[in-house]
Structure 1
Amino acid sequence: MPEITITDYIILAFAGLLAGFVDSIAGGGGIITVPALMAVGIPPHFALGTNKLQASFGSFTASAHYIRKNLANLRDCIAGVLFTAIGAALGTWTVQQISPAFLQAAIPLMLVAIFLYLIFSPDFGTLDKHPVMHTQAFYFTAGLALGFYDGFFGPGVGSFWTFVFVLLMGMNLRTATAHTKIMNFTSNIISLVVFIAGGHVLFTAGLIMAIGQLIGATAGSHLVITRGVKFVRIFFLTVVALTIIKLIYDTYLAPAL
């Protein structure tokens, strides 16, 4: 394990702040923090585990803020929390046994499809609509699948959650963002516990990043509440686009260089 310098810790704290801000609005903070952790020489499994530690602080802060502002009701999310927790535990256990590399080819393509759908559906998420799926069935399916994905790999999971909340549960983008953070916190904390059990968490680095996460998540969730759906849509599209670019570069371009 390489020695982490004071300069490295400052970089990680700033990465946590920026990620907390982005993640609380549109998800995608992992595309900032995981590369930052690996850039200071932390091995992949430790980077993933430490990332879950700092991300738990940000997602908890954003979730609590949204619940206090009545954008989400925790009681209504119990089924989602349960199935997301199960999926995240299975995904995190699995990723510690094998490499997540094979997912890297499929995820950018799925995000491209979401991005194009949003571009050509300007009214997507602007108004509440009737759900097209029963709540319990939705949480069973989405919770297990996206919980597993977040525990196993993770990039873009916030975008996937927000998208399915709007598409299948009829929420507007602001309400979908609030519910997404509750699911994100669930998968983060469960995944963290499994990573700790596997000995893949660096607590000092994670807690220093968490300070930045707390500040960024507070600022970001405040903007979601005050700026409304249009702001969330623009930010969401931007984050999805950047996530696509990052994953395509990591998967297809970087290996060829």
Structure 2
Amino acid sequence: MFEVSFDLLMILVGAAFVAGFVDSIAGGGGLITIPVLLLSGIPPVQALATNKVQGLFGAGTAALNYARAGHVDLRKQIGAAGLSFLGAVCGALLASSLPIDVIRLGLPVLLIAVALFFAFRPGLNDIDRSARITPLIFTATFVPFIGFYDGLLGPGTGAFFMLGFVSLAGYGILKATAHTKLLNFASNIGGVVGFVLVAKPLWMLGLAMGVAQIAGAYVGSTLATKVGAKLIKPVLVIASTALALKLISEWF
């Protein structure tokens, strides 16, 4: 049985706080927590499962905080959240049988593309624009697809949801960020359900890190609500680029 010393627990809790802060603004919290969990000696599948447990709390806290600020109506997202959940369950269950290595090779390219999109596309701010597809099509196709990816791998899920809301649904950056969180919360739940069937999360560690996630997500989402695109855009670009570089470094 894996045992966690007090010093290691403090490191993991600190990482969870930072991850909650970053994830509540731009996604990519797994960039911080997954490597720390793996470096602590937890087996890979168990580390992924534990990461899903602690990530629930940050995404849930951010969703509630954005809703309280009036940037999202969570009740209108229940259907989309359900599809995100189902997609993630399927992804987690199929994680051991799909060619994940092929997906990982293309993931850095996608993340760099996301970073470039938000860094250089003119006119990206907190003002809504015309949607390219209807809300029904967006919910029925894009949402479960990204949920599936979250269950399968996970890193960058928040950034991919953001990209969809901005480029397809026409949302401003702050509104897109707010609408991402409940869907990410639901996909985390789906990932946990799927992983419970194939792995054993470290529940107490996940809960301890989850408390820190709550604090980090509250601070991050509060700042994002006050500052908007001026904070969200650079954090999203930095997080996406850093995750892409980390994945590329793993190839070597």
TM-score, scaled to structure 2: 0.95
Is 2:189 the partner of 1:184? no
Write out per-residue CA displacement over residues 140-175 of structure 1, whole angstroms, 9 at most, x where no aligned residue: 111221000000001111101001100011111101
Determine the structure 1 residue equivalent to 2:6.
6
Write out per-residue CA displacement over residues 193-243 of structure 1, whole angstroms, 9 at most, x where no aligned residue: 222233421112111111110110000000011112211111111111111
Determine the structure 2 residue equivalent to 1:66.
66
User: 1:64-103 maps to which residues of 2 (within 5 A)?
Assistant: 64-97=64-97, 100-103=100-103
State the one-letter code of the partner of 1:17: F
Q: Supply the distance in 2 between the matched residues of 1:208 and 1:116 (Cα, whole angstroms).
A: 35
Q: Supply the distance in 1 between the matched residues of 2:212 and 2:246 (Cα, whole angstroms).
A: 22
Is 2:180 the partner of 1:210? no
Q: Does the 8 Å contact 1:93/1:194 carry over to 2? A: yes
Q: Secondary structure at the match of 2:168?
A: helix
User: 1:89-238 maps to which residues of 2 (within 5 A)?
Assistant: 89-97=89-97, 100-238=100-238
Q: Secondary structure at the match of 1:65?
A: helix
Which deviates further from its counterpart, 225-234 or 50-59?
A: 225-234
Determine the structure 2 residue equivalent to 1:55.
55
State the one-letter code of the partner of 2:117: Y
Q: Supply the distance in 2 between the matched residues of 1:199 and 1:241 (Cα, whole angstroms).
A: 30
Q: Does the 8 Å contact 1:84/1:187 carry over to 2? A: yes
Unaligned runs of 5+ in 1: none
State the one-letter code of the partner of 2:100: P
RMSD over aligned CA atoms reads 1.5
Q: Supply the distance in 2 between the matched residues of 1:102 and 1:5 (Cα, whole angstroms).
A: 36
User: 1:22-61 maps to which residues of 2 (within 5 A)?
Assistant: 22-61=22-61
Q: Does the 8 Å contact 1:125/1:171 carry over to 2? A: no
Determine the structure 1 residue equivalent to 2:16.
16
Q: Supply the distance in 2 between the matched residues of 1:175 and 1:183 (Cα, whole angstroms).
A: 13
Determine the structure 2 residue equivalent to 1:247.
247
Q: Does the 8 Å contact 1:115/1:240 carry over to 2? A: yes
Runs of 4+ aligned structure 1 residues displaced above 6 Å come to none
Q: Supply the distance in 2 between the matched residues of 1:197 and 1:65 (Cα, whole angstroms).
A: 31
Q: Supply the distance in 2 between the matched residues of 1:109 and 1:99 (Cα, whole angstroms).
A: 17
Q: Supply the distance in 2 between the matched residues of 1:118 and 1:25 (Cα, whole angstroms).
A: 14
- How far did residue 99 of structure 1 move? 7.0
Unaligned runs of 5+ in 2: none
> Aligned pair in 2 of structure 1 residues 99, 19: CA closer, same or farther (>3 Å)?
farther
Q: Supply the distance in 2 between the matched residues of 1:174 and 1:29 (Cα, whole angstroms).
A: 18
- How far did residue 63 of structure 1 move? 0.4
Q: Does the 8 Å contact 1:126/1:230 carry over to 2? A: no
Count of residue pairs brought into register by the alignment: 252
Q: Does the 8 Å contact 2:12/2:33 carry over to 1? A: yes
- How far did residue 98 of structure 1 move? 5.7
Q: Secondary structure at the match of 2:94?
A: helix
Which deviates further from its counterpart, 39-48 or 71-80?
A: 71-80
Write out per-residue CA displacement over residues 8-47 of structure 1, whole angstroms, 9 at most, x where no aligned residue: 1111101110100000000000010011111110011000
Identity %: 37
Q: Does the 8 Å contact 1:12/1:209 carry over to 2? A: yes
Q: Does the 8 Å contact 1:146/1:161 carry over to 2? A: yes
